[in-house]
Amino acid sequence: MQGTLLAGIVMATRVEAGPLIELFDLKEIESRPFPIYGGKGLVLAVSGTGKANAAMVTAYMCVKFYPEWVLNLGAAGATQESTEIGGIFHIEKTIEPDRLHFQSKRPYVQIPEMLPGFQNAVLATLDKPVTEVKTFEELAAVADLVDMEGASVLQTCRRLDKRCLLFKFVSDTPFHAGRGEMIIDNINHYGGTFCDFIFNTVIPVLRDV
């Protein structure tokens, strides 16, 4: 079975994953320990938010389904207010400001695989949502975007020798700090366009690699 599945996709919430599930006409194949949908050489898992959930679902997917690629997809906040809502970025580096090396005391940094021709960004992954403008301003010194899963998916893939790609769309900026309903509205509004991009642009590239 190894190598027969093109990609395993990890997304944090059903709201983010829904348009992609519909585009690929994926069917639910498991409900526990995680909701997993499959079809057309893909499996998509809804992990839930946070690093632990992302690591668990990525490990489970890798050891059970043997995907050639793992993709972490979904919404992220932008650290600069000038960043366009709905903008789509290919992650070139992850950094974890809340996870420091024991000896160096510096944040963990990881480099994922990259595809050419996309707009790139640096992603900070934290284990709690950013709800204050001050935190966005602090993160802006080291990252363009912030989420709660990306680095954890990448770390798991590195441990299991899986190729990993990360794509994120911007759901909020410092302007939206603490405005949860606005962020959800943005995810609902721009999530479909992001999933169209993955369906029409990213997955076809992987099929040709």
Can you say whether residue 74 is alpha, beta or left, with left for phi > 0 and alpha for psi between -120 and 50 degrees?
left
pLDDT score of 178: 83
Per the structure, the complete domain to which residue 81 belongs is given by: 5-208
Any idea what the Cα angle at residue 131 is, between residues 169 and 133, rounded to 5°?
90
Q: What is the pLDDT of residue 111?
A: 97
Rounded to 5 degrees, what angle do the CA atoms 69, 73, 79 make? 130
- Sign of the alpha-carbon torsion through 76, 43, 118, 153: positive
Output the domain CATH number for residue 66.
Answer: 3.40.50.1580
Count of domains observed in the chain: 1
The answer to whether 81 and 175 are in contact (CB under 8 A) is yes
Other CB atoms within 10 A of residue 108 CB = 17
Average confidence (pLDDT) per 10 residues, the chain, 209 residues: 77 97 97 95 97 98 96 98 97 94 88 97 96 94 98 98 98 90 95 98 91
| Two tokens, residue 31 | 């409900």
| pLDDT computed for residue 51 by the predictor | 97
Please give the Cα distance from 158 to 58 (Å, whole number).
11
State the pTM of this model.
Answer: 0.95
| pLDDT score for 3 | 45
- Residue among 112, 129, 131 nearest 120 (CA): 112
| Helices within the chain (DSSP H only) | 14-23, 51-65, 133-139, 150-159, 180-197, 203-208
Neighbouring residues of 147: CB distance < 8 A, sequence distance ≥ 6: 74, 75, 76, 77, 123, 124, 125, 126, 168
Strands 145-147 and 120-125, sheet pairing: parallel
The reported pLDDT for the residue numbered 2 is 43
Q: What is the pLDDT of residue 206?
A: 93
- What's the farthest any 2 CA atoms get from each other in the chain? 48
